[in-house]
């Protein structure tokens, strides 16, 4: 298959998967949220706790899968910040070591003078983990895994050859001394569901996920391998000129403190809507609930007092060419906006709402 065909196939599969994944995310958010409330209501020692945990585990696994599908279709809600990739690698070191086991030696080379990139730290960690897992599978009898970061400038000729824009990048390398990759399968590596592993061992989603995250982050990825001598994956993320953000303000208010702010919630899914409503009302928030952007604007216009926070998903629109967030803020510039990243747990939701409201003070 030509690279163009592969790219097109990835786009199509990605769009389909992404569409389904969004719906599943809504359903899973509702399942997990209700499970959490249910388990909170069980008395200690209640034998039904095992069943509730079973539901939770299954829903969490489904959530992971859904996240992978969203990553592949490049439809994840990313939370990019200005990062030093050396810090991210250093922080992930213990986790990676745990994943690869102690048969494999882990070497990290993370220089301090690395230029900053703008990326979602959790997603970079996801890239590292997926690549490390593959490296582990490629070294069943042990070996060496190297994680390395470095500044690179991609010159025009080399960049063009790989179809990448020239420029300043940070390179993140994950290299192993494993079985290597057969040249015949090289071009299929990043296809969703491509795997050479036995059923139950491989899903074929690892590298497709990595590819999706890298692309959505504005980067690219290259592979080099020699059979029997190991493989090396190089991820390139563009250097950012943005200054790092100042440290986040401490969370305001304790758990026991009751909230009093007014929240406008826009959510088309009835289950998710009622869950969020429950969680926030329990904590004292006043809630205005809308099914869609049009209804939200109507509520915003009719409500005489302040609306402190708007909760919407990124797709929320108030018409053919206006997002709910823009339309509400045009009327009420003081309203904070929280883009909801589903699925979430009630506690995480409450924390995010608090943090979004607190950021308004600073």
Q: Which residues are at the interface with ligand ADP (CB under 6 A)?
A: 130, 134-135, 138, 176, 178-179, 181, 189, 194-197, 202-208, 231
Neighbouring-strand partners of residue 220: 236
Closest distance between Mg ion and the C-beta of residue 337, in Å?
36
Closest distance between Mg ion and the C-beta of residue 100, in Å?
13
Closest distance between ligand ADP and the C-beta of residue 224, in Å?
11
Which does residue 189 touch among ligand ADP, Mg ion, none (CB within 5 to 8 A, set by kind)?
ligand ADP
Identify which of residues 154 and 210 has a Cβ nearer to Mg ion in the complex: 210
CB 298 within 8 A of CB 319: no
Which does residue 194 touch among Mg ion, ligand ADP, none (CB within 5 to 8 A, set by kind)?
ligand ADP
Shortest-Cβ-distance residue relative to Mg ion? 206
Do you know the residue count of the chain? 362
230-238 vs 167-176, strand pairing mode = antiparallel
Which does residue 178 touch among ligand ADP, Mg ion, none (CB within 5 to 8 A, set by kind)?
ligand ADP
Identify which of residues 68 and 335 has a Cβ nearer to ligand ADP in the complex: 68
Q: Which residue pairs from 287-294 have beta carbons closer than 8 angstroms and sit at least 24 positions apart in sequence?
A: 287/262, 287/263, 288/262, 288/263, 288/264, 289/265, 290/264, 290/265, 290/266, 291/266, 291/267, 292/266, 292/268, 292/316, 293/266, 293/317, 293/318, 293/319, 293/322, 293/323, 293/324, 293/327, 294/318, 294/319
Identify which of residues 53 and 103 has a Cβ nearer to Mg ion in the complex: 103
Identify which of residues 195 and 345 has a Cβ nearer to ligand ADP in the complex: 195
Closest distance between Mg ion and the C-beta of residue 244, in Å?
32
Shortest-Cβ-distance residue relative to ligand ADP? 206
Identify which of residues 66 and 134 has a Cβ nearer to Mg ion in the complex: 134
């Amino acid at each position: 298959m030509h690279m163009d065909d592969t790219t097109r196939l990835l786009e199509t599969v990605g769009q389909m998967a992404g569409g389904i994944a969004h719906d599943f995310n809504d359903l899973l958010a509702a399942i997990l949220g209700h499970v959490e409330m249910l388990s909170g209501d069980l008395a200690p020692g209640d034998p039904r706790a095992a069943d509730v945990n079973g539901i939770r585990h299954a829903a969490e696994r489904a959530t992971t899968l859904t996240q992978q599908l969203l990553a592949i279709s490049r439809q994840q809600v990313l939370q990019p910040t200005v990062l030093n990739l050396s810090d991210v690698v250093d922080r992930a070191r213990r986790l990676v070591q745990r994943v690869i086991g102690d048969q494999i030696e882990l070497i990290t080379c993370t220089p301090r003078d690395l230029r900053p990139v703008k990326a979602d730290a959790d997603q970079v960690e996801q890239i590292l983990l997926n690549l490390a897992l593959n490296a582990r599978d490629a070294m069943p009898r042990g070996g060496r895994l190297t994680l390395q970061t470095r500044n690179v400038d991609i010159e025009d000729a080399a960049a063009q050859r790989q179809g990448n824009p020239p420029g300043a990048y940070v390179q993140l390398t994950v290299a192993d001394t494993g079985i290597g990759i057969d040249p015949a399968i090289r071009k299929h590596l990043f296809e969703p569901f491509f795997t050479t592993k036995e059923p139950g061992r491989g899903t074929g989603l690892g590298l497709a996920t990595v590819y999706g995250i890298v692309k959505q982050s504005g980067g690219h990825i290259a592979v080099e391998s020699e059979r029997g001598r190991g493989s090396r994956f190089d991820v390139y993320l563009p250097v950012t000129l943005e200054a790092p953000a100042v440290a986040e303000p401490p969370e305001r208010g304790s758990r026991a403190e009751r909230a009093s702010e007014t929240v406008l919630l826009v959510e088309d899914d009835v289950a998710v809507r009622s869950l969020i409503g429950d969680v926030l009302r329990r904590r004292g928030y006043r809630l205005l609930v809308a099914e869609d952007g049009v209804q939200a604007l109507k509520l915003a216009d009719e409500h005489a007092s302040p609306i402190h926070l708007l909760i919407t998903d990124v797709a929320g629109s108030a018409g053919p060419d206006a997002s709910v967030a823009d339309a509400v803020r045009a009327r009420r510039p003081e309203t904070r906006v929280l883009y909801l990243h589903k699925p979430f747990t009630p506690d995480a939701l409450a924390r995010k709402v608090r943090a979004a409201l607190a950021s308004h003070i600073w």
